[in-house]
Structure 1
Amino acid sequence: MELAIPEEENKRKGWKRQSPLPSLPEVHHSLSVPNKGNFFRKLMAFIGPGYLVAVGYMDPGNWATDLAGGSKFGYSLLSVILISNLMAILLQSLSGRLGIATGKDLAQACRDHYSKPVSFGLWILCELAIAACDLAEVIGAAIALNLLFGIPMLNGVILTALDVLIVLMLQRKGFRYIEALVISLIVLITTCFVMELIFSQPAMAQVAAGFIPTTQIITNPAMLYIALGILGATVMPHNLYLHSSIVQTRKVENNVESKRSAIRFATIDSTVALMLALFVNAAILILSAAAFHTIGREVGEIQDAYHLLGPILGVGSAGIIFGVALLASGLNSTLTGTLAGQIVMEGFLNIRLSPWLRRLITRLIAIIPAVIVTALYGEKGASDLLVLSQVILSLQLSFAVIPLVKFTSDRTKMGELVAPKWVVMLSWFVAAIIAVLNAYLLYTTFFG
């Protein structure tokens, strides 16, 4: 276990206090990285955290907005998916930089910088966002279990609690096992959508044109609303906390050159992984556009897409493949959600609970609302809860993005590893866009 930095040195580095223990102490610096060797060998040592982060960008919360956007407006909103993904790549690179350069995750950095009341407020908002994100993942997995195996929604929601046991079992073997499971499920999701795109035979010229932004996205209120929903559902606040912690599973030497190299490889890892997430999100929208928009059928719910894909595409297995991808997405997301919950509680409050207890608490926070709503209102209530979860995520996003940009642009805190000026300027611009668009999304949700 690493010793705490002396108080005088800590204050010299711009922090008001010092978190006594690293985040996820059971796996902190548990994976060695080669000091020598070729580029590929070093890169392989850093591959993994980016894919855990990418899971949040293809979770069930994104599916409904992508399906609605494709069925209603064809390929036009592909540009929004591309832009939001580029924003995510930028912010996740800052998150990895913060963790490697300072040895603090974003939750610890907030706790060590802000006053106790502000830090506590940020923790409450972050817990709400994680609960909302977990809620989307739990409901998504339950919907998939219901569609594929006929398991009642209520029972499916309860079954998702078993992911706690999976994470604990794998983490005892080593963090690489968790990364391997997550990457395997991402490969399964990607394979499913490659097959779906082959079945749907989209118009490639229209697909290419969809990646070019048009003024219609701004001038058409209905299109703008779905576009804002895609933006709000793509950049996930809990991923910023998660990434800044799990990059520290790699044992990097405590010098500027080693950390600079680690930042470079971690950025490559997250960028490649997020490009896979871009493919999955774009594939959902393309599939919806090719299957539903061409016949004038609007689809806003996952269940409708599952039942209609087979008959419309003329491939009986199309719906089943869609359901398998949804189940893999839901299971993957619940795995990473439990890790994010542990990081946030330990980072903000410095409370150290047994991993099994922390993950059980995290899962119960998500399961209890889902159980209540599903029991009272059935599938329709669960779908409405899915929409509400995305609104809550939008509300919290700026409270994670702004501190992240603030810390990584502070030379006192980051030293020679401070983000380049052009990155800082671009990051503040992105933070401002996210704040304005999410404020508008919330306004239109409640008053529009």
Structure 2
Amino acid sequence: MKKKKYSIGWRNENKHPSLSEVFSSVSVPKQKGIWKKLFAFTGPGLLVAVGYMDPGNWATDIAGGAQFGYMLLSVIFISNFFAIILQHLALKLGIVCERDLAQACRDHYHPFINFILWILCEISIAACDLAEIIGSVLALKLLFGIPITWGVLITAIDVLIILFFQYKGFRYIESVVAALIFTILVCFSFEIVSSKPEIFPILQGIVPNPEIMKNSHSFYISIGILGATVMPHNLYLHSSIIQTRDYPRTFEGKKMAIKYATIDSTLSLSLAFFINAAILIISAATFHKAGHTEVSSIMDAHKLLSPILGSSLAGVFFALALLASGQNSTLTGTLAGQIVMEGFLNIKFKPWIRRLITRLIAIVPAMIASIVYGEKGTTELLIISQIILSAQLSFAIIPLVNFTGDSEKMGPFVNGITLKISAWFITIIIVLLNLFLLYDTFFK
């Protein structure tokens, strides 16, 4: 009997590569040097990790630390574990099938279903872009006193910066992201040292506490953290950018690529865990300890941080980290928008046109909110953007888990029984939590 080709499960075989202008553009050494190969695959994981430390995540971490001390560290830890599994599936899909998640949906689902998925995905990317605008705008206000309305307009300039680095090459984009992540890391390292947290309570907080479920408010914040565990655009992004590596498109080559890409992804997401945990730890060690349990917004946290820690640099580093976070997320959001539109619709726009469309969709509501409601309006808009992202998440996870568990599509690389069960378990948990969050938001 003739052995089935493992791409037989796809409807279309003649396709354009994902991000064709940078496809297979980063060389991977042919020799067996582990460190050189690992370095060659380092980068996509960092771009993905950005989504776990964007301004939209800050508010829940700050509120969780201020109200419940270190108790919700376990929720961040579990969230990170979920993220590691799902991003592994995304990179595996891209490497094995040489399709990003958007292309895979187009080659599997009915055109009408595809159109709906594309619309939902575009809305989520615009919502994500909105969160990045707000984060950058708040940071500009905190650092330089720039009014929010002007800050919204200034953020549009980053289109030119992004286009410049896209033109220079994909490794340049990865280097910029790495530098901004390093900036965030340095800032929060300073904040942690300044806040002098207690080590034993931190270790206790990593262990799940039954009190989280018993207290309705801590449970609600936990849902907010877990519900936005994986940014939906990150799954599309990772399945695409991993294909920028020039590994042999053979069984052994793909097996090697999955191995090193997973190491890169896991280490990068561990770094994201440290930064998210740092935000909660700083909030717990300063606001919760001082009795300021009402702190829940980024602006409130900045106002109180310097007086409590007794250092003006604390507020500066906090705002600088926020600016780096917003700009970092902008870079990855741009790429995700390009991947989604090209993948679902099989059409190509020039990068500057695609970026301008996404930015305008996000800038309009940000500008209206800043003019009508001021600072409070932008904070409310940040919360709304996270609800939109949570609502769309299930529509990205379910296809991903389904595709990577299909032996006709993945062949010898299909998810094993343990990974398959784990992936569906994580999917069900995230879907249920997001449904609960949406119900609580709109019907209570």
Q: For the superposition of Structure 1 and Structure 2, which TM-score range results when normalised by the shorter chain?
A: over 0.9
Deviation at 1:323, TM superposition (A): 0.4
Once the two structures are superposed, residues 128-153 of structure 1 have per-residue CA deviations (whole angstroms, 9 ceiling, x without a partner) of 11111111111000000011001111
Pick the aligned partner of 2:104 from 105, 109, 112. 109
Listed as ranges, the matches of 1:38-437 within 5 Å are: 38-297=33-292, 298-437=294-433
Could you list the runs of 5+ residues in structure 2 that have no partner in the other structure? none
Distance in 1 between residues matched to 2:17 and 2:147, nearest whole Å: 41
Q: Provide the TM-score with structure 2 as the length reference.
A: 0.97
What per-residue deviation string (whole Å, max 9, x for no partner) do you get for residues 383-420 of structure 1?
A: 00100111111111111001000001111111112222
Tell me whether 345-354 or 361-370 shows the greater mean CA deviation: 361-370
Task: After superposing the two structures, state which structure 1 stretch, 159-168 or 332-341, moved more.
Answer: 159-168
Deviation at 1:216, TM superposition (A): 1.3
RMSD: 1.2
Cα distance in 2, alignment partners of residues 436 and 256 from structure 1: 37
Q: After alignment, is 32-41 or 377-386 more displaced?
A: 32-41
Q: Deviations over 1:211-253 (max 9, x none)?
A: 0111111121101110011112331110000000000000121
User: Which secondary structure does the structure 2 equivalent of 1:56 belong to?
Assistant: helix
| Residue identity matched to 1:364 | L
Letter paired with 2:343: G
Question: Could you tell me which amino acid in structure 2 is paired with residue 266 of structure 1?
Answer: A
Q: What are the superposed Cα offsets for residues 278-316 of structure 1, whole Å, 9 maximum, x if unpaired?
A: 000000000000100012112111111111111001112
TM-fit CA distance, 1:360: 1.3
Equivalent-residue separation in structure 2 for 1:367 and 1:22 (angstroms): 31
The runs of 5 or more residues in structure 1 that have no matched partner are 1-8
TM-score normalized with structure 1 length: 0.96
Q: In the TM superposition, what is the alpha-carbon distance from 1:17 to its structure 2 partner?
A: 2.4
The question of whether the paired residues in 1 share the 8 Å contact of 2:6 and 2:407 is answered with no
Write the distance in 1 (CA, Å) between the matches of 2:17 and 2:362: 26
For 2:7 and 2:219, the matched residues in 1 are separated by 46
Three-state SS of the structure 1 residue aligned to 2:438 is helix
CA contact (8 A) 1:129 1:237 kept: yes
Query: What fraction of aligned residue pairs are identical, expressed as a percent?
Result: 60
Cα contact 2:90–2:101 (8 A) shared by 1: yes
Q: Do 1:391 and 1:442's aligned partners in 2 also have CA atoms closer than 8 Å?
A: yes
Answer whether contact 1:19 1:108 (CA < 8 A) is retained. Answer: no
The AA in structure 2 aligned to 1:125 is: L
Shift of the 277–155 alpha-carbon distance from structure 1 to 2, 3 Å rule, reads: same
Q: Structure 1 counterpart of 2:186, which letter?
A: T
Whole-angstrom CA distance in 1 between matches of 2:70 and 2:7: 52
CA distance in 2, matches of 1:133, 1:295: 33
Contact 1:10 1:17 in 2 (8 A): no
Could you list the per-position Cα deviations for residues 138-171 of structure 1 after superposition, in whole angstroms to 9, with x for gaps in the alignment?
1000000011001111111121122221121112
2:353 aligned partner, one-letter code: L
Q: In structure 1, the residue corresponding to 2:420 is in which secondary structure?
A: helix
Count residues in correspondence: 440
Q: One-letter code of the match for 2:29?
A: P
